[in-house]
Amino acid sequence: MPAVSLTVNGKPVTADVDPRTLLVQFLREHLRLTGTHVGCDTSQCGACVIHLDGVAVKSCTTLVMQADGGNVLTIEGLAAADGPLHPMQEAFRENHGLQCGFCTPGMVMTAVDMVRRKGNDLDERTIREELDGNLCRCTGYHNIVKAIAAGAKAMKA
């Protein structure tokens, strides 16, 4: 089996893997980082979104070998373990941008990437368009949109 080496949440990781291993499987099963969820296995729901080299990707359709040499950030690494929540996480909490919580890690990671690409002043239409590919089965998205707008503004500070 080939070896893969990458940095996950700031820590170097090397492992022998089956080349068919999906990045989400590697994160959840090998590294026990279970904040990245598997919702559909077809890249449609967005529950598996992580950042690979600073860009949001769906880890359920990315092979771990594609991340070889890369830098992976998961929801667990977004904020320091002993520190406060990331501003986007805090905005989701304050604005009730979650219900069951299953989609939340992917939504938060998508939202952080959205701010990186679109800036801190996001309008409702932009947020809703950018959430295409992230599904929430519990809410009407209203509070998620509010949370992202608030989180984007908080990330400016």
In the beta sheet, which residues pair with residue 14?
5
Which percentage of the chain shows pLDDT scores above 90?
A: 84
**pLDDT score of 90:** 97
Q: pLDDT-based confidence at 30, cuts 50/70/90?
A: very high
Q: What is the mean pLDDT of residues 28-41?
A: 93
Given this structure, which CATH class describes domain 3-76? alpha beta
What pLDDT, in 10s, does the model give residues 107-134? 999 999 999 999 999 999 999 999 999 9
pTM of the entire predicted model: 0.94
Name the strands in the sheet holding 3-8, side by side, starting at the edge strand that comes first in the sequence. 11-16, 3-8, 71-73, 49-52, 55-58
**86-125 exposure pattern, b = at least 16 Cβ within 10 A, e = fewer:** bbbbbbbeebebbeeebbbbbbbbbbbbbbeeeeeebeee
Contact 3, 26 (CB under 8 A): no
CATH of 87-156 given 1.10.150.120, 2.40.110.10, 3.40.50.1380, 1.10.486.10 = 1.10.150.120
